[in-house]
Structure 1
Amino acid sequence: MTKKNYYVLSLFILSIFLGCKEEQKINPISENIVFKNYKDSINLSGTLSIPYKDGKFPAVILISGNGEHNRNAEFGNHKPFLDISNYLTNNGIAVLRYDKRGVEKSSGDYNSANTFDFAEDVNAAIDYLLARKDIQKNNIGLIGHSEGGLIAPIVASNSSNVAFIISLAGPSINGDKILLSQQKAIATSKGISEVEINKSQTLNRNAFEIVKKYNDKDVLREKMATYIEKISIDDSDKPENMTFEEYVDAQVNSILRPWMVNFLKYNPQKYIEQINCPVLVLNGSKDLQVLSKENLPEWKRILEESGNKSITIKELSDLNHLFQACETGLPDEYEKINESFSIIAMEEMTKWIKEQIK
């Protein structure tokens, strides 16, 4: 072998070695962690994933929507938060996800909590990341899905430690309007008659108005019970093994859950207009739970009128509320779809986050 060929071969071997080193650089490490919400005296269990052992990384906290979700936001065979975590970590971004209070390994009572309680859990997650030596303290962001998209603005409006937020199908209109819009969109897609839809809308709207009108818990329960009794006479939906009184009580308890009462009265604008950090808002065009045509324009209006200069708002074609490529967008499709979370949405988030990193 000539000296020249040996030199070329050596460079070739060296380039392979360096290439392997570069490939090995992103080798995600996941650590099961526990952090404490001192305000409510609960421990939250989760997983922190970092790109590799040594270094300091930008980080995001994943905030799930309404429901007793674990750290992976698991439903059926899908684990969308695990997929998002893996994708972001492989792109150099650390990810913290956790079991909601009262779910799996986290302590606390889920059923007695409302949106603001869940916001305190996010604050506790931020405090945990701020204490880590492997996290860039000036690059901690929030990614909130659905109700998580309500929670992220609450946290960001009261914290200087939030560098950016991403809303995934997060509401920007009042809670009662969200539910009425959701119910109508789903019923329409199922082919329910306009007469039946209008009847249901009226019944629900009246119930929601009662919740919004009365603040005293005892008075609210009395007024709601009277209303539910009135509209439930001869209700064909009453199970045969349940008395009328039990049926009424079950409906009253459902609508007067702490979370529901808070949600029906909730106005997102109060917190969205206080966001000073960069914001990315994404919605699927086939989302029937938080409709993009109603919520995206409001996000844009509120943020622009409040003076936020760093806004990106996008509708993603053919994605449902869970950011899956779908046919109808109906909730009964969710578990049947093979995709857990759209790669297109993950690419959008990753590209945008990298642009925000300081």
Structure 2
Amino acid sequence: MKKTIVIVLFLASIGAGIAYILVSSAKMAEARPQEPETPYPYHTEEVTFRNDSAGITLAGTLTLSDKKGSFPAVVLITGSGPQNRNEEVLGHKPFLVIADYLTRRGFAVLRYDDRGVGKSTGKFNNATTADVTTDAESAVAYLKTRQEINSGKIGLAGHSEGGLVAAIAASRTKDIGFIISLAGPGAKGIDVITLQSELIARAGGVDEAGIALIKRANRETTEIIRSTPDTAGLRAKLMAYTKANLHDYPLKMMYPGQSKEDFFKFQVNMLCSPWYRYAFEIEPASYFKKVKCPVLALNGSKDLQVDASQNLPPILKAVREGGNANVTVKELPGLNHLFQPCKTGHPNEYGKIRETFSPTALAAMADWLAATIAAPAPG
């Protein structure tokens, strides 16, 4: 299934590709060799659970060994933007691959459709990071009702924004036994977003004049956002700003055939959304400092969306400053934001890469889990 994804390149999103421009005329790779085939050598179950605080029902898939036992469990949390339980993007299904790998290693795995997506109810459009955190917490509460699950060994593994969701949830409850941040932000939201736009622009071939314009747009739109709390007023100011100042914005940052008017209208609408206003000011360190359970943070060295050198050190520092020594951070060479081996890390490569999720990254997760939260031997 082909999926059109639009990138916003001044003050872009920290999502797992949903809010990004993937400008590529090349045909996507057809084969996804890591995608598991049925019949699976483990139990698979369609489940639903309630988020009573939001008044919604979330639907997902639970996989676990078909042997009797009390299994540790991992809840997978998607990145920003409405995504299904497999975090499907450009034909890749990374959460399906992760769930299959971890289940074969003896862990139960729950992955679920975001609110308003697939079989989950509710609306995603106005949801903030705080809102979707309650969805993840509801998933943990559901697993605690299952007799096959070891209620003391339920953890969260979140990709991109999902890594921050995991930290927020773990910062306010003792019910979470561990967290894994997969390319999750550690620096302040606006700093992640600003660097992201520059890195993607450079990798996309934008010249220095274009980079300078993008950086200036970032600074000036940031100031407008900070000084304008009223949404209607913000939308008017941002539209006026784009018309007056961004007539030379790099064409390489736009979808082929898209007018500048439509491009900037899309961006302004995103910048005025509740999600963005929340993400703009968020300080991940304030949550990681309060996390007392074991923490694993992984990033690819070629991740242009959530830069490893910008985001891994703050996670390590914050967790340790909070008095938690059980934290491991790893930068995995040559991997992009989706943990694929890549050339540049630019999002326009995602769909052309055959591999869905690096075996190195899968092993890093499973080995850490086995050492930290022991699973019963499968089989």
Offset of residue 247 of structure 1: 7.0
Offset of residue 188 of structure 1: 1.3
Confirm whether residue 305 of structure 1 aligns to residue 321 of structure 2: yes
Distance 1:72 1:251 in 2: 27
- The verdict on how the C-alpha distance between 1:234 and 1:345 changes in structure 2, with shifts beyond 3 A counting, is closer
Confirm whether residue 210 of structure 1 aligns to residue 224 of structure 2: yes
Task: Look up the equivalent residue of 2:286 and give its one-letter code.
Answer: K
Offset of residue 229 of structure 1: 3.8
Q: Which residue of 1 aligns with 2:182?
A: 168
Task: Spell out, residue by residue over 1:7-41, the C-alpha distance to the aligned partner (whole angstroms, 9 max, x if none).
Answer: xxxxxxxxxxxxxxxxxxx9410100111111111
C-alpha RMSD of the superposition: 2.2
Structure 1 segments unaligned to the other structure (5+ residues): 1-25
- The verdict on how the C-alpha distance between 1:347 and 1:203 changes in structure 2, with shifts beyond 3 A counting, is same
Q: Which residue of 2 aligns with 1:4?
A: none
Distance 2:327 2:84 in 1: 30
Offset of residue 53 of structure 1: 4.5
Distance 1:141 1:196 in 2: 43
- The verdict on how the C-alpha distance between 1:241 and 1:157 changes in structure 2, with shifts beyond 3 A counting, is closer
Which one has a larger percent helix, Structure 1 or Structure 2? 1
Confirm whether residue 324 of structure 1 aligns to residue 340 of structure 2: yes
Distance 1:340 1:325 in 2: 9
Task: Spell out, residue by residue over 1:124-165, the C-alpha distance to the aligned partner (whole angstroms, 9 max, x if none).
Answer: 101100111110000001101101011111100011101000
8 A contact 1:283–1:316 mirrored in 2: yes
Distance 1:327 1:225 in 2: 36
Distance 2:125 2:210 in 1: 31
Task: Look up the equivalent residue of 1:146 and give its one-letter code.
Answer: S
TM-score, with length taken from structure 1: 0.87
How do 1:84-123 residues align onto structure 2 when only pairs under 5 Å count?
Answer: 84-123=98-137
8 A contact 1:228–1:251 mirrored in 2: no
Q: Which residue of 2 aligns with 1:279?
A: 295
Secondary structure, aligned partner of 1:184:
helix
- The verdict on how the C-alpha distance between 1:228 and 1:97 changes in structure 2, with shifts beyond 3 A counting, is same
- The verdict on how the C-alpha distance between 1:152 and 1:336 changes in structure 2, with shifts beyond 3 A counting, is same
Task: Spell out, residue by residue over 1:333-357, the C-alpha distance to the aligned partner (whole angstroms, 9 max, x if none).
Answer: 1111111101111111111111222
Task: Look up the equivalent residue of 1:352 and give its one-letter code.
Answer: W
The one of 371, 376, 379 equivalent to 1:355 is 371
Distance 1:249 1:190 in 2: 22
Task: Look up the equivalent residue of 1:121 and give its one-letter code.
Answer: D
Secondary structure, aligned partner of 2:292:
coil
Task: Look up the equivalent residue of 1:170 and give its one-letter code.
Answer: G
Distance 2:366 2:207 in 1: 42
Task: Look up the equivalent residue of 2:322 and give its one-letter code.
Answer: S
Offset of residue 311 of structure 1: 0.9
Q: Which residue of 2 aligns with 1:148?
A: 162
Secondary structure, aligned partner of 1:275:
coil
| Identity within the alignment, % | 44
Please say which structure displays the higher CA radius of gyration.
Answer: 1
Q: Larger relative CO (CA 8 A, sep 6+): 1 or 2?
A: 2
How do 1:117-132 residues align onto structure 2 when only pairs under 5 Å count?
Answer: 117-132=131-146
TM-score, with length taken from structure 2: 0.82
Q: Which residue of 1 aligns with 2:206?
A: 192
Task: Look up the equivalent residue of 2:180 and give its one-letter code.
Answer: I
